[in-house]
Chains A and B, each alone.
Chain A
Amino acid sequence: MSTETVAAKKSEALFSKRRKAIVTDPLDDDNPVTVQVLGICSALAVTSKLEPTLVMSIAVTFVVIFSNLIVSLLRNAIPQRIRIIVQLGIVASLVIIVDQVLKAYLYDVSKVVGVYVGLIITNCIVMGRLEAFAMANKPYDSILDGLGSSFGYAWVILIVAFFRELLGSGTLFDIRVLPEAYVNNGLMTSPVGAFIIIGLIIWVQRWRNGYVEEA
């Protein structure tokens, strides 16, 4: 976990090794879903079709990046005693803005994901990044951290959605890809299917990386 403040040199390159690591770590070795096991609820709930999952990924990316940026900018001004409620206030406001924009411009999608967009407030990835990173790091680094974490979340749920929609409904983005003769797998349309696929992703990833849970 990149929780410690790394004293950055004044003339650090825009894409230095350290900064690249901030973005790439959460994609694989430090993935919020598969390694830190955060944000699982929404990964189970919104992944039955690709379209709402994509919208959810974009919404989470927006919220994580901007809340990271805002909290990082204010990190020296936020009083320690009320920092959690300040973070929550910022996250909640961003979530409401996303929800309102979806209602205005993507009404059909918002009918499907509306409930879950509201629940981004309780997504541990968002609060986790604010507490662990943005409160102690500079704005640019915080943006990179938000980018890494949200993409780490996004690729996992997009893969889950890909298999759930393909096997559960025989479609991708609501376009029929499997032959009509294919019998839809009801297990995949229910949240149980998401559990199985996330489990498989975690298995493959840990086998590949040789990750071992600390005792």
Chain B
Amino acid sequence: MQQSNGYVIGFAVAMTIILGGVLSFTAVSLNEKQKEEIALDTKKQIMLSVLPEMSESPKSEIAQVYDNRIQVVGINGKAIDAAVLQKLDISKEWKKLKKGQDAILPIYKFMSKDGKSVDSYILPMYGYGLWNDIWGYFALNSDLQTVRGVVFSHKGETPGLGARIGDKEVQDRYIGKKIFNGGKLTPIFMVKGEGHADLPNYEVDGLSGATLTANGLNEMVDRYLKEYKPFLEKGASAVSMAQ
């Protein structure tokens, strides 16, 4: 009986339906919790670009600081509608950017403790690494010129090579670099090879063995800083006039 074609096909169909059902049930029932975790993780990444000392704090604490001190505005400086913000997905906006369509470019303003002045501006970014997507949060000081800190993350770069963009040691190389050079926007580039000393203000030491991931990172930083250029230039001149 077991060898008849009808039995084999029947068994296969029954198994597919049962396993499919079990998997769909799992996916649906865990979906909400997963979304929550992802949202918390995003908040953590954003906050770590300006407060690296919080890396060991529990996520709920980081989320609380985020809710208290972060304000999100669009590139025109006006607040983004809450409903739009709720659904905002940087990876989708990135796809629009690549097609040359209008995309929402959010700017996360990290306010000072009293909430009156802006401490730093955090620019979200998205792009391709070597194997899969990469993304990051690029924090600038209130002068809109000096890098305060960056957080990069990735989906599937090679552990030990490209995946090092997620290491604090690599990210710290960006701190203190300038995005303007003689009044001109100069995106910060990761150079090829590792171990360079005395690099200019717009270059950081590279990743040995991960040139293609570094290229993807450079492309991402370049694309986004150019997209944010109107805001950065306007902001930079306003800041310098105020001084």
Binding site for B on A (CB under 8 A): 45, 77-82, 85-86, 89-90, 93, 96-97, 100-101, 103-105, 107-108, 115, 189-190
Contacts and interface: CB of A to CB of B under 8 A. Distances in A.
Interface string B130-158: 00000000000000000000000000100
B11 A78 contact: yes
B3 interface: yes
Contacts of B11: 77-79, 82, 86
Contacts of A81: 3, 8
Nearest to A90: B19
A100 B27 contact: yes
Contacts of A189: 160
A91 to B, nearest CB: 11
Q: Which of A80, A86, A93 has the most CB of B within 10 A?
A: A93
A80 B156 contact: no
Interface in B24-46: 26-27, 30, 33-34, 37-38, 40-41
Given A79-B3, A81-B8, A115-B156, A104 B19 contact: no
- DSSP majority for the A interface? helix
Chain B interface size band reads 20 to 34
A68 B215 CA distance: 46
B19 A89 contact: yes
Contacts of A96: 23, 26
B3 A103 contact: no
B15 interface: yes
Given A93-B23, A97-B23, A97-B26, A105 B33 contact: yes
B2 interface: yes
B33 A104 contact: yes
Contacts of B40: 107
A42 B207 CA distance: 26
A105 B11 CA distance: 34
A34 B36 CA distance: 41
A72 to B, nearest CB: 16
A99 to B, nearest CB: 10
A45 to B, nearest CB: 8
B22 interface: yes
Contacts of B16: 89
Contacts of A89: 15-16, 19
A190 B163 CA distance: 13
Contact of A107 (B12, B26, B41, B156): B41
A188 to B, nearest CB: 12
11 contacts: A79-B7, A79-B8, A79-B11, A86-B15, A89-B15, A93-B23, A96-B23, A96-B26, A97-B26, A101-B26, A108-B41
A104 B15 contact: no
